[in-house]
């Protein structure tokens, strides 16, 4: 990674206890930064105020402490950043890149939009060229979309290698503010990472396709691109993805029966960072961390052995 002092981040959504996949991604993010004497920032991603809570945020902080994953500062939670996001939204408007979209959810799902393998669809630009009279004829508040260019974005990911995406054909114009006025994840993350001076984004593989969307917004807002590292998802020995549904594997349960060193040792071993499955603290592990050791393919974890 770059020579400048690295700045990494934890960006959890406080909607429940951390599960092992979150712990693994947080561990790698922390190791990358701390092994190079960098700075770690914490940010609560609580845009969805229905699903998130201050209690879960407090539990997350406590879980990070228990794991030994410390941070240097916590920035404002996203639910308190609307005024900042408004400013960036206005920049997009000034660049003439925004337009209101009145499509309903069912219209979006039924129109002849090409659907992608992951279940998402490419927005076909239905509302891009509406006249003022057409816009005035709707009696509901619109979502706001940003026009995307027909251009190939290349992510040189530290773990996944080269990933390319053309937003025009793979995604379509992106919603940046929902009809209820709430800003979407892509805009909030871009602004928050940019303003916090984050130089590296380490997170789960499921967010890889978000990287080009965020790179586009970074360019529009004048932020440098961070380095990306999307770490593999954790799988049970039968190939099933470990998720929030595996209640017996959330930290609330695990903390009652194992030490943080046992958990970190098991995760580090599964990820290829150490040769034997032995207890180790995050701090010890940081001394021997290198990106080359990390497995890029699926990581199997036999949680029953924990
Ligand atoms: N808040 C997201 C999550 O908890 C992570 C977003 C990110 O790392 O960019 O899955």
Measure 36 CA to ligand 1 centroid, in angstroms: 23
Measure 139 CA to ligand 1 centroid, in angstroms: 34
Angle between helices 185-195 and 82-94 (to 10 degrees): 100
Give yes or no for residue 202 CB within 6 A of ligand 1.
Answer: no
Per-residue pLDDT of the chain (306 residues; tens, 9 = 90+): 555 799 999 999 999 999 899 999 999 999 999 999 999 999 999 999 999 999 999 999 999 999 999 999 999 999 999 999 999 999 999 999 999 999 988 777 776 556 666 667 899 999 999 999 999 999 999 999 999 999 999 999 999 999 999 999 999 999 999 999 999 999 999 999 999 999 999 999 999 999 999 999 999 999 999 999 999 999 988 888 887 677 778 899 999 999 999 999 999 999 999 999 999 999 999 999 999 999 988 899 987 778
| Nearest protein CA to atom 7 of ligand 1, as residue | 11
| Cα first-last separation, the chain | 33
For a mutational test of ligand 1's pocket, the pick from 203, 204, 217, 228, i.e. the residue with the most ligand atoms closer than 8 A to its C-beta, is 203
pTM for the model stands at: 0.94
Sign of CA dihedral 137, 142, 146, 152: negative
Torsion over CA of 265, 266, 271 and 276, rounded to 10 degrees? Answer: 70
Please name the residues in contact with 110: beta carbons below 8 A apart, sequence gap of 6 or more. Answer: none
């Amino acid at each position: 990674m770059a020579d400048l002092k690295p700045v990494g981040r934890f960006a959890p959504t406080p909607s429940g206890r951390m599960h092992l996949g979150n712990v693994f991604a947080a561990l790698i993010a922390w190791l990358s930064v701390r092994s190079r004497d960098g700075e770690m920032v914490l940010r609560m991603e609580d845009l969805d105020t229905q699903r998130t809570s201050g209690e879960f945020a407090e539990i997350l902080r406590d879980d990070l402490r228990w794991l030994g994953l410390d941070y240097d500062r916590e920035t404002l939670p996203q639910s308190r950043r609307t005024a900042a996001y408004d400013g960036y939204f206005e920049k997009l408007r000034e660049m003439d890149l925004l337009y209101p979209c009145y499509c309903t959810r069912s219209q979006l799902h039924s129109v002849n939009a090409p659907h992608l393998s992951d279940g998402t669809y490419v927005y076909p630009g239905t509302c891009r060229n509406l006249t003022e009279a057409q816009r005035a004829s709707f009696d509901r508040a619109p979502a706001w979309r940003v026009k995307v260019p027909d251009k190939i974005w290349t992510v040189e990911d530290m773990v996944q290698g080269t990933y390319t995406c053309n937003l025009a054909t793979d995604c379509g114009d992106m919603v940046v503010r929902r009809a209820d006025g709430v800003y979407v994840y892509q805009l909030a993350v871009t602004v928050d990472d940019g303003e916090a001076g984050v130089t590296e984004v380490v997170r789960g593989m499921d967010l890889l396709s978000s990287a080009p969307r965020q790179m586009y917004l970074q360019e529009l807002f004048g932020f440098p691109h961070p380095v990306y590292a999307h770490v593999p998802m954790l799988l049970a020995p039968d190939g099933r993805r470990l998720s929030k549904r595996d209640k017996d594997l959330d930290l609330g349960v695990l903390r009652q029966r194992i030490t943080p060193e046992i958990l970190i040792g098991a995760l580090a071993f599964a990820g290829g960072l150490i040769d034997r499955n032995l207890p180790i603290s995050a701090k010890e592990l940081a001394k021997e961390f290198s990106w080359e050791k990390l497995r890029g393919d699926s990581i199997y974890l036999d949680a029953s052995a924990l």
